[in-house]
Amino acid sequence: MILLSPEPRAAIAAHAEAEFPNEACGLLLGQRDGAEVFITEAVASANIADEPRRRFEIDPGLRLRLQKAARKGGGQIVGHYHSHPNGAARPSETDRAGIFEADLVWLIAAVVNGRLANLAAFLPQAGGGGFDDVALRIGH
């Protein structure tokens, strides 16, 4: 199960709505406890993809900075988020082709007409090739 605090949920919604009709993306910080993941912070990234209306790419410099901060006691990188402008909160074919790390949570925000419509969580399947749905709960 993924537990998402209200603050990062609000931050993801605001970022995804502000970037509409482009895809917004960012990194998720928190802790892992076995199969449970607690997301306590969402850090917005620039979307550096060539076609930001159809793809996302997180700034590698941001990731590096957060990894350094994590070693000094900051939150661990437990996943990332991105939005689907006028799309569904489901992994796209592009997303399936873009799985590189099996242990990161994917949060996908559907933004319809500029407003957050749905938020869902997924984990890459161990064998590769697809995603499993994961229950997402908002709370502390």
Binding site for Zn ion (CB under 5 A): 92, 95
Give the whole-angstrom CA distance, residue 85 versus residue 115. 9
38 vs 81, beta carbon nearer Zn ion: 81
Helix (H, G, I), strand (E, B) or coil at 140: coil
Kindly list the strands in the beta sheet with 136-138, ordered across the sheet, starting from the edge strand earlier in the chain.
131-134, 115-124, 105-112, 76-85, 25-33, 36-45, 2-4, 136-138
Q: Which of 7, 17, 19, 23 does the annotation list as catalytic?
A: 23
- Amino acid, res. 138: I
| Sign of the alpha-carbon dihedral angle for 47, 95, 14, 73 | negative
Q: How far is the CB of 88 from Zn ion (least distance, A)?
A: 10
19 vs 95, beta carbon nearer Zn ion: 95
Q: How far is the CB of 68 from Zn ion (least distance, A)?
A: 27
Query: Does residue 51 have an active-site annotation?
Result: no
40 vs 92, beta carbon nearer Zn ion: 92
Comparing every residue's Cβ against Zn ion, the nearest one is 95
| Residues with catalytic roles | 23
